[in-house]
A and B are shown apart, each in its own frame.
Chain A
């Protein structure tokens, strides 16, 4: 079994599985975010549920964290191994002749996404943990009011144009990452048959729609705060 875990193919498959999990997570995340555009209440209710439901908080959240960390750590491990497989570089290398830029630069789009996640954690997740588990305020209310705080906080974050710009750039790169990653995950798991064309189309649609959704939410709140 140890041979299996350290084998190149098993690692690819693990990358693919964590990727598919994250792809699924993005749909949920966007679904919640998008409600903020048309219904403050619904957004607040959903956010409160997600933030306080024990199943989400203590079962799904750790799994998600693990998935994210695993995907990054394994990505770095594979990148290092691949670097070792190609010590001497070509003086002239015309990668564009045979592959897309995104497929060759997953590590860089990945790094930008990592930076974004750090920012995202600083913005939302750490304050959230602070309020809920350090201060013990599980109410989800704005201080001194009877209103949920989630929507207010969300709007507040998108006041700064620099932050909005960073979000937009990050999501564009996420889109590129997904443009290759989506179908790649299927290929890694051995899925390549007559449905591959459909998977590719689906992947393209997904890699445009999901990042676009996040960008719309950010820009909407920037314009409407």
Chain B
């Protein structure tokens, strides 16, 4: 198929940036979206132009590196996948495809489609852990039974890949699904209880300081999340936060 691509090009963080039109031809429907981008880049390099910079790594939907806002949606039109899992069969011959970086004040553009998501790391650093040293003398893994339901729910929350689609898709650039998922994972496990109060307070504080917006419960994040993280996690974070604030 032949396609017109409208791709955001921006030299660096200080550059203003603009959408630039490109044509690609003979794209196979079996290609992944990123392979289509590879084809475009090969074409640009051979013409002596600079290829489009985009983040990607594992190309199997788990590292969370790939981003891109494709035709108005994070990770493109299909649900429950990352951009690397999107295939060209989701498009038609002659389509025009808008390809933009994830947008949020807390995710500044580094170059073209590459954005800086280290704000997520800083939120995790503010409390997204359990303080346990590596000793070899930690109590036995089966010492505290954990109900299967709690363990499964914790796993569902922990499945977040930190890609930032929730922020990119949220009209408020809110990071509450991301933070809610992490807070929930620990809140659901007995090991996470000791630091629960401090954790939720400082993670929320850091989230606010990073300049993420507020949640207005549109639910867009849950729909666009490649891993289907539930809004329940935001509610749980809200509860944990209230509990922590009044205690």
> A97-122: contact bitstring with B at CB < 8 Å (1 yes, 0 no)?
11110011010000000000000000
Considering residues A86, A87, A103, A104, which has the most beta carbons from chain B within 10 angstroms of its beta carbon? A86
Supplied contacts A4-B245, A82-B173, A94-B73, 5 more A-B pairs, CB within 8 Å: A82-B216, A93-B69, A97-B77, A190-B239, A193-B232
Contacts from A to B (Cβ < 8 Å): 3-4, 6-13, 78, 81-82, 84-95, 97-100, 103-104, 106, 180, 183-184, 187-193
Question: Which chain A residues lie closer than 8 Å to B207 at the CB level?
Answer: 8
Of the candidates B103, B201, B211, B241, the one whose C-beta lies within 8 Å of that of A88 is B103
Number of contacting residues on B, CB 8 A?
Answer: 49
Measured CA separation A191–B8 after assembly (Å): 40
Q: Is the interface of A mostly helix, strand, loop or mixed?
A: helix
B171 is an interface residue with CB less than 8 A from chain A: yes
Cα-based distance from A63 to B215 in the complex (angstroms): 26
CB distance from B5 to the nearest CB of A (A): 12
With A78-B214, A84-B105 given, is the CB distance from A99 to B73 under 8 Å? no
Q: Is the CB of A86 within 8 A of B172?
A: yes
B-to-A contact residues, CB < 8 Å: 6, 8, 19, 69, 71-73, 77, 98, 100, 103-106, 169, 171-174, 176, 201, 204-205, 207-208, 211-220, 223-224, 231-232, 234-242, 245
CB nearest to B100 among chain A residues: A90
From known contacts A9-B241, A92-B71, infer whether A85 and B211 are also in contact, taking CB-CB under 8 Å.
yes
Q: Give the contacting residue for B172; candidates A9, A85, A98; CB below 8 A.
A: A85
CA distance A135 to B80 in the complex (A): 66
Which residues from B are CB-within-8-Å of A90? Answer: 69, 72, 98, 100, 103
A190 and B242: CB pair below 8 A? Answer: yes
> Who on chain A is nearest to B97 by CB?
A92
Set A3, A85, A184, A189: member contacting B173, Cβ < 8 A: A85
Give 22 pairs: A residue, B residue, CB < 8 Å, sorted on A. Answer: A4-B245, A7-B205, A10-B245, A12-B238, A13-B238, A85-B212, A86-B173, A88-B103, A91-B98, A92-B98, A92-B100, A93-B69, A93-B72, A94-B73, A104-B218, A180-B217, A187-B234, A188-B217, A190-B237, A190-B240, A192-B231, A192-B234
Docked CA distance A104–B205 (Å): 25
User: Given A8-B215, A103-B217, A180-B217, are A86 and B171 also a contact pair (CB < 8 Å)?
Assistant: yes
Query: Across the interface, do B73 and A86 meet the contact criterion of CB distance under 8 Å?
Result: no
**How far is A9 from B239 in the complex, measured between Cα atoms in Å?**
10
Beta-carbon nearest neighbor of B217 in chain A: A184
Docked-complex contact A86 and B238, CB < 8 angstroms: no
Q: How far is the CB of A127 from chain B (nearest CB, A)?
A: 36
Are B204 and A189 interface neighbours, CB within 8 A?
no
Query: Would you call B213 and A82 a contact (CB within 8 A)?
Result: yes
A148-B191 Cα distance, complex, nearest whole Å: 67
A99 to B72, CA, bound (A): 13
B238-A189 in contact (CB<8A): yes
Minimum CB–CB distance from A18 to chain B (whole Å) comes to 15
The interface residues of chain A lying within 8 Å CB-to-CB of B224 are: 98
B220 touches A95 (CB 8 A): yes
Query: How far does the alpha carbon of A87 sit from the alpha carbon of B98 in the complex, in Å?
Result: 19
Are B236 and A82 in touch, CB under 8 angstroms?
Answer: no
Closest to B246 in A: A4
Contact indicator B216/A106 (Cβ below 8 Å) = yes
Query: Can you list the 7 inter-chain pairs with the closest CB atoms, starting with the nearest?
Result: A94-B72, A192-B235, A85-B213, A190-B239, A82-B172, A98-B223, A190-B238
Question: What is the CB-to-nearest-CB distance from A89 to chain B, in angstroms, rounded to a whole number?
Answer: 7
Evaluate contact between A99 and B219: CB separation under 8 angstroms.
yes
A205 to B218 alpha-carbon distance, docked (Å): 19
Q: Which of A3, A93, A192 contacts B205 (CB 8 A)?
A: A3
Q: With A and B bound together, what is the CA distance between A193 and B153 in angstroms?
A: 13
CB distance from A215 to the nearest CB of B (A): 26
Cβ of A184: which chain B residues have Cβ within 8 Å of it?
216-217
Q: Are B103 and A8 in contact (CB under 8 A)?
A: no
- Residues A81 and B220 in contact, CB atoms below 8 Å apart: no
